[in-house]
Amino acid sequence: MAEKEKETKILRVRNIYDDMENMQTAAEILAGGGLVAFPTETVYGLGANALDERAVAAIFRAKGRPQDNPLIVHVCDLDMIGPLVAEVPEAAIELAGRFWPGPLTMIFRKSDAVPAVTSGGLDTVAIRFPSHMVARELIRRADVPIAAPSANLSGSPSPTTAQHCIHDLMGRVDAIVDSGSCGVGVESTVISLAGEKPRVLRPGGVTVEQLREALGDVEVDPAVCAPLADGVQAASPGMKYKHYAPRAHVVILRGGREAFAAYVNAHRDGKTYAMCFEEDVPALGVPYVVYGGERDDASQAAHLFSALREMDELGAETVYAHCPARTGVGLAVYNRLLRAAAFEVIEL
Ligand code: TXA
Ligand code: MG
């Protein structure tokens, strides 16, 4: 892991009109080859010029990220994409029309302009056009495509506030743009259009149901809801690493409200916490952190990563998380929780 060595500027940007000076400072750092954490509608990203090999290599060092895990390249308009890709399939045009700007990342066959360090040595490149105004304005001012993984230390829960970025990256990056909380709360949906059929590699803010409505047949990679089998190569290298994990031991409990309360109450020891829905609270006899409403997948997504980080602040040793429904954005919530729990699920 990289030593802490940089002086990190904290740049508040409430909106792009009133805080133009801070916007410009952040954009100049990016254009000059530096590292800037910035907000998007999903989670905060750690950005660098995607075409500058040295700048991109510094992202991997700052995060402690494995070199073979490729980065998403962020653009602020469709014209920026042409030079980065080898071809634009029909399906991409359809999806761009429906979901961009927004929480969707598409994987294309790449052009030679994208350095191997950015694409993790693959012959494809992931591209995303975010909807967050600060992200778009920052890319526009920097005037280069921006490579940006989530702005957390590798393995930790993704950051949904500037506070989370400060916790993980202070002293490791040149600047952190502070624009409050991210709306969606889980990372973008990743869909590959480089194979025979469109295939979801990571569920996110744009749902599988929405993608099927747009394209018809869409596959979901088996690694979304299960550990990779031995010897199988990950379609998305990020899926093979342990992820989103707090220090506590996280276990998912699948079952109804009563069964959930009965199980966690029977394990009360002062260090055991419930990560639960609002509706669970009245029956709980252990300390808890609420991460959303039982039927409200958007609120679960928005609070999931803060709830996981809060467990560390509380000193939780064991966390029993109530399993979300695996539909809509709930599939993304489930996918992240599974990795935080290292796939440990108890059926009640
Ligand atoms: O919402 C998001 O997507 C956030 C914000 C900052 O935009 N970014 C983000 O990046 O989540 P990151 O690096 O944490 O996750 C990118 C995922 C990884 O699982 C990576 O393996 C996969 O996308 N990925 C990137 N390029 C790929 C490629 N060419 N082929 C397959 N998977 C790819
Ligand atoms: Mg990440």
- 73 pocket-lining for ligand 1 (C-beta < 6 Å): no
Per-residue pLDDT, 239: 66
Other Cβ atoms closer than 10 A to 226: 10
Tokens linked to 348: 């009640």
- 157 pocket-lining for ligand 1 (C-beta < 6 Å): no
Percent of the chain clearing pLDDT 70 (strictly above): 98
The answer to whether residues 48 and 204 touch, using CB atoms and an 8 Å cutoff, is: no
Per-residue pLDDT, 225: 92
Q: Which residues pair with 128 in a beta bridge?
A: 74, 105
User: Architecture of 249-347 per CATH?
Assistant: 3-Layer(aba) Sandwich (3.40)
pLDDT tens digits along 225-280: 988 777 777 787 776 666 778 899 999 999 999 999 999 999 999 999 999 999 99
CA pair distance 345, 156, nearest whole angstrom: 20
Tokens linked to 285: 């006899």
What does pLDDT average to over the chain?
A: 95
- 188 pocket-lining for ligand 1 (C-beta < 6 Å): yes
Amino acid type, 3 = E
Buried b (16+ CB within 10 A) or exposed e, 29-59: bbeebbbbbbbbbbbbbbbbbbbbeebbebb
Tokens linked to 342: 């290292």
Per-residue pLDDT, 228: 78
CATH of 9-224, one of 3.40.50.620, 3.40.50.261, 3.90.870.10, 3.40.50.300: 3.90.870.10
Looking up tokens 């998912």 gives 252
Per-residue pLDDT, 282: 98
Q: What are phi and psi of 97, to 5 degrees?
A: -60, -35
Q: Whose CA is nearest to atom 32 of ligand 1?
A: 236
- How sure is the predictor about 83, in pLDDT bands with cuts at 50, 70 and 90? very high
Please tell me the least confidently modeled range out of 38-52, 84-98, 163-177, 237-251.
237-251
**What residue spans define the domains of the chain?**
9-224, 249-347
Per-residue pLDDT, 230: 74
Q: Report angle CA 106, 63, 301 to the nearest 5 degrees.
A: 55
Per-residue pLDDT, 229: 74
Is 249-347 in the same CATH topology as 9-224?
no
Per-residue pLDDT, 233: 78
Q: What's the whole-model pTM score?
A: 0.96
> Which ligand is in closest contact with the Cα of 127?
1
CA pair distance 116, 102, nearest whole angstrom: 26
pLDDT tens digits along 55-65: 999 999 999 99
Atom of ligand 1 nearest to the CA of 46: 6
> Which ligand is in closest contact with the Cα of 85?
1
pLDDT tens digits along 93-118: 999 999 999 999 999 999 999 999 99
> Which ligand is in closest contact with the Cα of 70?
1
Q: Which residues pair with 288 in a beta bridge?
A: 274
pLDDT tens digits along 1-16: 455 689 999 999 999 9
Kindly tell me the burial class for residue 175, based on how many C-beta atoms sit within 10 Å of its own C-beta (0-12, 13-18, 19 or more).
buried
Residue 174, CA atoms < 13 Å, CB-side half-sphere: 17
Q: Whose CA is nearest to atom 5 of ligand 1?
A: 45
